[in-house]
Structures are given as C-alpha cells and as structure tokens.
Amino acid sequence: MSAPNKQPTWNPGQYLKFAGHRMRPALDLLNRIALDDPAVVHDLGCGPGNVTPFLKGRWPNARHVGIDSSAEMLAKARAEHPDGDWLQADAATWAPDAPAELIYSNAALQWVDDHAALFPRLMGLLAPGGVLAVQMPHNHAAPSHMGMRDVVEAGPWRAKLEPVLREFPVHDPDVYYDYLAPHTGSLDIWETVYAQVMEGDNPVAEWTKGSALKPLLDALTDPDENAEFFATYSKAMQAAYPKRADGKTLFHFRRLFIVATR
C-alpha cells in the first residue's frame, strides 16, 4: 500500500516476480496469530490478493475484506478472487464498520507515515481480544535501499528525486513496543533476516523495481532519464550483491513482525 501523501502507480506483475520470497514472511506472520474463528478478517494493504487464499484457508467461515489504496493492485485482486470484498482506502484513515477481531497487514504499513499515531489508532479499531498482526520490511539500512539514496544524490536527477526519498520508514522493535504496550494485553515483536537465494542477471534491482524503487522511477517521467537512473542503480546493485559461485545471488532481507492483542 502506498503512502498517504504520494501514491505510486503499482505494477502487480513486477511485484509478483518474486512471489515466493514475498509470500514466506506473510505466512510466517499468519502462523503466529492465535485466533480460532473471527467473523471478519481485514487484510489491510492487501495488494494483489496473493495472501487471500491462505487467509481463507485458515479461516474459511470468515468474511474476508481486502483494503488497499492502489486501484491497480485491487483490480488484480478482484480478477483473481471475484468472490472477495475489496475496498479502496488509505490505511492512515481507514476504519472498519464495526470493531475488528483481526487486522492483518503484510508489507504495507511501511508506506504510511507517522507510525507513532498510526499504530495506536489501529489498536483502537480492535474489539476486546482483537489482534493486530503486522509485517514490514526493515531493510532500509541495507545496500539495496541505501544505494537508492547514493544514486539519487550523485546524479543529475537529484533535484527531482530528493523530495521523493523517505527517511527510514520502519523503526526498531523497541519503538513499536513503546507505541503499542499501553494499548495491548499481549504483545509479540520479533525480527527475521531472510537469506533469499535469487536467480537472474540482477535480481536485487528487479526486486526493488517492484517495491521501494517504484516511487523514484515514477518521478522520472522522461523515458531516457528513467532508463539511465535504473541502469545506474542496477550497476550499483550488481556490485553490492555479486553472484555466488553457482551463479545465484544472496539477498539478505530483514523484516519486522508484530502481533498485538487488545
């Protein structure tokens, strides 16, 4: 899901190039939720609906509502799952029709600003005993993400792209503990670093092209400038993530998980 102040135009096909790697943390989060039979499952930042079959498999009797700010992602979700309930809304302001038993959010809330306000607000949307389950990329200090800033600041596109760059959007676990502890009866926070084995000529650049790099590419509307920027970034990623002896690339990716019960 995109940030409330600027919404990139998402490409579901590019995003799903690495569907297996993107799905694993979604399922790791799902497996840590201890709810038996919620009436409604809210998938906040549902994207193209790639987690929907697993949510339905876990809670087949529930009504499943997918919420996303991207019309492109929701169109893909509706096409794949026409029986679902899909809602275009901003996570910063969305609220359910009734207090929620489960708000599940995989790889979405990093696009929303002001987590100090957002996370207590989401807890306030829960019914007593309700669960907020969140996974967010916490890889913004890695070469894949720091390299974006380096390329922006060193190139002729600096004036166009610096306003698009975001400060670290995801905080350390102790920050979220302080945000959430006053509002929870049970709070589980952890991090996992996935050593992703990836194939292709430049898989890290292709990965970020479908996610964190997308707002920068959107800001360069001149095709030649856009191509030059991506080529420069791609070269930097090839240097930062060289191929192993077997021709594959290891992309270490840190993710933050939260399961908070009201």
Show me where the domains of the chain are located.
12-261
Tell me the CA end-to-end span of the chain in Å, nearest whole number: 24
Read off the pTM.
Answer: 0.89
SS3 4: coil
CA–CA distances in Å: residue 173 to residues 38, 103, 133, 135, 170: 27, 19, 14, 12, 9
Q: Is the pLDDT of residue 16 over 50?
A: no
SS3 55: helix
What pLDDT digit, counting tens, does each position of 30-42 carry?
A: 999 999 999 999 9
List all residues 6 or more positions away from 87 whose beta carbon is below 8 Å from its beta carbon. Answer: 65, 66, 67, 68, 94
CA–CA distances in Å: residue 56 to residues 50, 78, 108, 233: 11, 15, 19, 39
Average pLDDT in the 124-151 region? Answer: 97
- pLDDT > 90 in the chain, percent: 85
**DSSP bridge partners of 191:** 256
Q: Is the pLDDT of residue 247 over 80?
A: yes
> What is residue 18's predicted lDDT score, i.e. its pLDDT?
47
- The pLDDT-based confidence of 1 (bands split at 50, 70, 90) is very low
> What is residue 15's predicted lDDT score, i.e. its pLDDT?
44
Average pLDDT in the 86-94 region? Answer: 97
Q: Give domain 12-261's CATH architecture.
A: 3-Layer(aba) Sandwich (3.40)
Tokens standing for residue 221: 């509307």
Q: How do beta strands 63-68 and 85-88 pair?
A: parallel
Q: Is the pLDDT of residue 259 over 80?
A: yes
The per-residue pLDDT of the chain, averaged, comes to 92
Please state, in angstroms and rounded to a whole number, the distance separating the CA atoms of residues 67 and 42. Answer: 7
Q: How far is C-alpha 195 from the geometric centre of its chain's CA atoms?
A: 18
List all residues 6 or more positions away from 181 whose beta carbon is below 8 Å from its beta carbon. Answer: 187
